[in-house]
Structure 1
Amino acid sequence: MKKTDIDWPKITKIVQDYNSDPECLLMIMQDISDIYNYVPPEVIPVLVEKLGVSESLIYSVATFYKTISLEPRGKYIINVCTGTACHVRGAEKITNALAEELGIEEGQTTADGMFTLDAVRCVGACASGPVAMVNHDTHGALNRSSALEMLDQYRK
């Protein structure tokens, strides 16, 4: 695994933007994830020191929230909604098509580090289901063909 180059001034600024408030741990970790698509392990001791929280709390937050990861993820994180509305409209077929095309299973990242495929319970776009989010972009009314076309957009 390639070591991540950490922008320490940027990490310090994120913590300072939240006044080093331990109550803001989740938001701080989310901001760090927005930069690296995960929270690099080198950052954890810094968060412990600057926020005065335990390492176990950091791991608890990271393992509870799907948007936080302690493992490197792809440049593009594909979250396929599997909530009720999307499920009944074929979310499983979308997930299977993407997994097959990418050569990975749900929860995995492609070898080239471009894509991570995840399933999430709901993205709040029930009327547009089935829905997938790629990073912060929402793609609705998907079928197998349109899901693969969506993937091609990000490959370019």
Structure 2
Amino acid sequence: MTKPAEISAAETANENLPKEKFEELEKFINGLETTKGALIEILHKAQDIFGYLPRDVQLYVARKLGIPGAEVFGVVSFYSYFTTKPRGKHTISVCMGTACFVRGADKIIERLKEKLGIESNEITEDGLFTLKDVRCIGACGLAPVVMIDDKVYGRVKEEELDEIINTYRNQEVKH
């Protein structure tokens, strides 16, 4: 393993990725007792800070840990939690597992695509929603299941989607 590079946050910052966020990540990494075996923990923190893991952030982490960029990318692309694209403020996940699919999840996701004007893994124009189809949420008894952020909606019907989406849109208007 190569020696971790002494790279400063200021060297990595650009107009889209502010220096302050790199400094926050640098402080986190430097505060770890050891970085050995901490790649996933560091990537979680980086995604919390930046909202996603663009190439520059992945390369920064690789240089700080003294590992190949390909190793970092391999971890980022393997785990579905990590994203290389910005996400909307709210993530709508539609379960496409067998129980949900049999009970109409395919129709639910198609209707959401229409209503939001996006495809799966895209962000709405207003930046409010990201739509994802996921393998299984683990709530098969409530099929079909839609999850928005950490809130689970069970036995969802197409006609309930407007009300569900508007709940989140209305929260934005109040803030």
TM-score grouping bracket, smaller chain normalisation: 0.7 to 0.9
1:25 corresponds in structure 2 to 39
Let me know the Cα RMSD of the aligned residues: 2.2
Q: 1:131 aligns with which of 112, 124, 145?
A: 145
1:116-155 matches, cutoff 5 A: 116-155=130-169
Report the residue type matching 2:29 in the other structure. V
Deviation >6 Å, runs of 4+: none
Structure 2: how far apart are the matches of 1:85 and 1:31? 34
* TM-score, length-scaled by structure 1: 0.85
Q: Does 1:81 align with 2:95?
A: yes
AA paired with 1:94? I
Query: What is the rounded CA distance, in whole Å, between the counterparts of 2:30 and 2:136 in structure 1?
Result: 32
- Superposed displacement of residue 122, structure 1: 0.7
Aligned-pair identity (%): 36
Structure with larger Rg: 2
Q: Is 1:67 matched with 2:81?
A: yes
Q: Provide the rounded CA distance (Å) in 1 between the counterparts of 2:57 and 2:154.
A: 35
Of 109-118 and 92-101, the range deviating more from structure 2: 109-118
TM-score after normalising by structure 2: 0.77
Partner Cα separation in structure 2 for residue 20 and residue 50 of structure 1: 12
Q: Are 2:29 and 2:42, in contact at CA under 8 Å, matched by a contact in 1?
A: yes
Structure 2 residue runs without a partner (length 5+): 1-14, 171-175
Q: Distance in 1 between matches of 2:116 and 2:65?
A: 39
Tell me how far apart the structure 2 counterparts of residues 82 and 91 of structure 1 sit (CA, whole Å): 6
139-148 or 29-38: bigger deviation: 29-38
2:21 aligned partner, one-letter code: D
Which structure 1 residue ranges, 5 or more long, are not aligned? none
